[in-house]
Amino acid sequence: MGWAIALHGGAGDIPLSLPPERRQPREEALRHCLHIGVEGLKAKLPPLDVVERVVRELENIPQFNAGKGSVLTSKGTVEMEASIMDGTTMNCGAVSGLTTVVNAVSLARLVMEKTPHIYLAFDGAEEFARQQGVETLHSSHFITAENIERLKQAIEANRVQIDYTQPIQNDTKKETAIANGDSQIGTVGCVAVDGNGNLASATSTGGLVNKMVGRIGDTPVIGAGTYADTRCAVSATGKGEAIIRGTVARDVAALMEFKGLSLEEAATCVVHERTPKGTVGLVAVSAKGEVAMPFNTTGMFRACATEDGYSEISIWPAATKFE
């Protein structure tokens, strides 16, 4: 037992040839966010607070696809979404279609705590944000040059309809959107458990590059992108449509609950046996303080730490241990 934390900055087709100048800032960001989370757990903050803090941090980092640095819709705009879940109470909150809210995950938490609802979206969510006085900025704040470029490439590569089976363009000297309009950087998320087995999960994203305006993915859908109960907490990333139909986050918990699988077994089963290759990654912690971070994509930006001193920051399958 003991506390544990895991976080991700997205699963996808992260090329092994990712140059150092693109890799290192992300690794550094993961390290920074992990540190924040670990300090929070050491200070005995509730896991719900810890996951919110970590995801806020990830949202603020422009290299990840959430908050600032969110990928763009087909119209070049930003529409952000997030959800958060408290495993002890099973309370949850979610938001979609945000255009000015600096930290979507915090608004999701406010929906959970300050309204009789679970999920608010678009104009209604923005209105609620103003009522709550959360930090908002003009939507241009969230748009980065990198994402404008990604959108351009995605639009050029598109046929009339986004085709998920298109092969990857070889023109990947940049880490850019692949031909099917997907971003290689899926989402951010964090799961945490304290020494008493309290669990929480939070996920946040800008969605898919070149997505239709109004498209909602798995991230705000409880049971798909985010889930926490008294057994485990899960945050998923990858192709939203696959995560939704696979109810991925809940499936990990259900396998533990109904088939008695361990966290590792359940997470591995969902990612490697129950979802198509190249679509999903997740981070999960159990009430016992275990961690699992499986993915069936080329890579997943991830980090974790447990109370016994283990920590890891990695991108591709071979784990790389850091201090």
Partner 1 sequence: MGGWALAVHGGAGVDPNLPPHRQEQAKQLLTRCLNLGISALRSNASAIDVVELVVRELETDPLFNSGRGSALTEKGTVEMEASIMDGSKRRCGAVSGLTTVKNPISLARLVMDKSPHSYLAFNGAEEFARQQGVEVVENEYFITPENVGMLKLAKEANTILFDYRIPTAGYDSCGVGAESPLQMNGLPISVYAPETVGCVVVDKEGRCAAATSTGGLMNKKSGRIGDSPLIGAGTYACGVCGVSCTGEGEAIIRGTLAREVAAVMEYKGLSLQQAVDFVIKHRLDEGKAGLIAVSNTGDVAYGFNCNAMFRGCATEDGFMEVGIWD
Interface residues with partner 1 (CB under 8 A)?
89-92, 94, 96-97, 113, 115-125, 127-128, 161-164, 181, 211-217, 221-224, 227, 240-241, 244-247, 250-251, 254-255, 258-259
Q: How far is the CB of 109 from partner 1 (least distance, A)?
A: 13
Distance between CA atoms of 142 and 209, rounded to whole angstroms? 14
Query: How far apart are alpha carbons 184 and 157 in whole angstroms?
Result: 15
Locate tokens 């704040």: which residue? 141
Q: Judge residue 311's burial from the number of C-beta atoms within 10 Å of its C-beta, 0-12 exposed, 13-18 middle, 19 or more buried.
A: middle
Shortest separation between residue 11's beta carbon and partner 1, angstroms: 18
Q: Catalytic residue among 73, 176, 187, 203, which? A: 187
Is 217 part of any known ligand binding site? yes
Verify whether residue 230 is a known catalytic residue.
Answer: no
Q: Is 176 annotated as a binding residue?
A: no
Q: At what angle do helices 47-60 and 20-42 cross, to 10 degrees?
A: 160
Yes or no: say if 41 and 200 are a contact pair by the CB < 8 Å rule.
no
**Closer residue to partner 1, CB minimum distance, 217 or 299:** 217
For partner 1, the closer of residues 94 and 188 by Cβ is: 94
Q: 148 vs 213, which CB is nearer to partner 1?
A: 213
CB of 63 to partner 1, least distance (A): 25
Is 216 annotated for ligand binding? Answer: yes
The per-residue b/e assignment along 294-305, b for 16 or more CB within 10 angstroms, e otherwise, is bbbbbbbbbbbb
Nearer to partner 1, 250 or 302 (CB): 250
Contact present, 152 and 127 (Cβ < 8 Å): no
Smallest distance from partner 1 to CB 213, Å = 4
Tokens 């693109």 correspond to what residue?
22
What does the DSSP 8-state code read for residue 140? G
The pair of three-digit structure tokens given for residue 142, joined into one six-digit string: 């969230």
- Residue 298 assigned to a binding site: no
Just list the catalytic residues.
187
Bind-site residues for substrate = 215-218, 237-240
